[in-house]
Structure 1
């Protein structure tokens, strides 16, 4: 009986050492960026937030329609500000200095295009 107990203690000690000796996975590093857009209405907000939400590396996004700025939290190992701006451009909206992809912009509803006047949703 003492042998079994001794063997269990040794095995538990070895397994604990193995676990403690392994480095823990580093949590993903996130950053926040604010990007000026050409969004106009609530439909624009929904579209941008939805499409960013399914984009690789995006943790969270929130578009403030008053100042037309989208605040994005993203995983720095999976994406970058440049890639995020390209995603917004491909949706059909300006993203800071990146002009909206023309084909995507033209496919937006009339009320969401840059030449449209702001309206209430």
Structure 2
């Protein structure tokens, strides 16, 4: 009998913990004006998939935005902006890490630095 009560209590605790974690889910749309192409999109999305608390990250390089869904009990929007900057891209008011930006392929750099999509002739 005690085993049945303990099992029920443990199941209730686990269910409450799962609910608490999912209720802290937030979504933010960040301006990422320096994204240029599919490579930029892939770089940011791949990097963000390893960040603690990030549930989903989608970059739209044509609109120059990044939509991030995250667990606010594990991270916050400032950490997310900093992570994007560490990949080499501006994120809202956070400027790209200069060393990371230098390491980007030419196509992923700003047009004034010789990057961006190929020029039409």
CA distance in 2, matches of 1:33, 1:57: 13
- 1:51 Cα offset (Å): 0.3
Q: When the two structures are aligned, how many residues end up with a matched partner? A: 108
Which residue number in structure 2 is paired with residue 8 of structure 1? none
- 1:17 Cα offset (Å): 1.8
Contact 1:41 1:119 survives alignment (8 Å) = no
- 1:21 Cα offset (Å): 3.4
Question: Aligned pair 1:36/2:47, yes or no?
Answer: no
TM-score between the two structures when normalised by the length of structure 2: 0.80
Q: Is the partner of 1:79 in helix, strand or coil?
A: coil
CA distance in 1, matches of 2:116, 2:38: 13
Q: Is the partner of 1:87 in helix, strand or coil?
A: helix
Which residue number in structure 1 is paired with residue 4 of structure 2? 16
Match of 1:93 among 85, 89, 101: 89
Off by >6 Å, runs of 4+ in structure 1: none
CA distance in 2, matches of 1:110, 1:67: 20
Q: Which runs of 5+ in 1 are unaligned?
A: 1-12
Q: Which runs of 5+ in 2 are unaligned?
A: none
- Between structure 1 and structure 2, the one with the greater Rg is 1
Cα RMSD after superposing both structures: 1.7
Matching of residues 75-114 of structure 1 within 5 Å? 75-114=71-110
